[in-house]
Structures are given as C-alpha cells and as structure tokens.
Amino acid sequence: MGELKVFRVIGEIRKPNLKTNFSKEVIALKPEQAVEKVYTELGSRHRVKRFHIKIVKVEEIPVQEIENPLIRKLIAGEEKIG
C-alpha cells in the first residue's frame, strides 16, 4: 500500500439558484481518489449531484500548509509513528 498524502481540492458548486466556491482538504493515495472523496462527501452532506460540482484544481500540500486541524493531527501522528 502506498503512502497517504493530503490533497486540497478547489472547485465550485453550480446549481440553478446557487454558485458557491469551496476548498476541501482530504487524505488519499492519488489525486483521483481525492476528487472521488470530495464528490462523495459533498453529495452526502449537501445533497449536491456530481454534475453540479466543478473541480478547478487538485494539489498535493505539505504538512505545514494543512489548515484542517483534524487532518494535521492525523498526519503528524503518522509521521511520528513511521
């Protein structure tokens, strides 16, 4: 199994009466898995269909740039163990 990385997925939700930008940090092995995780999470939490979500950018981010405190703690804990 590969090494887990943190990705920042930036995009927008385009519904007929709503346009919202978003930025989510997720843990995944590859950028494709990070995008899939964002689709799943937004669809589940906000009832947004995949065709309403437009992904603008997917980037791998270093530990120092992680903004989500839960993800930062998870990754920092993994680095100490490994």
What confidence tens digit (pLDDT) does each residue in 13-61 have?
999 998 999 999 999 999 999 999 999 999 999 899 999 999 999 999 9
Q: Quick check: pTM over 0.85?
A: yes
Tokens representing 79?
């680095």
**Amino acid found at 1:** M
**DSSP structural state of residue 50:** G
DSSP reduced 3-state for 53: strand
| Per-residue burial over 11-27, b = 16 or more CB atoms within 10 Å of its CB, e = otherwise | bebeeeeeeeebeebbb
Tokens representing 45?
């939490």
Instruction: Assess whether pLDDT exceeds 80 at residue 79.
Output: no
Instruction: Assess whether pLDDT exceeds 60 at residue 81.
Output: no
Instruction: Assess whether pLDDT exceeds 90 at residue 77.
Output: no
Domains and CATH numbers, the chain: 5-81 (3.10.20.10)
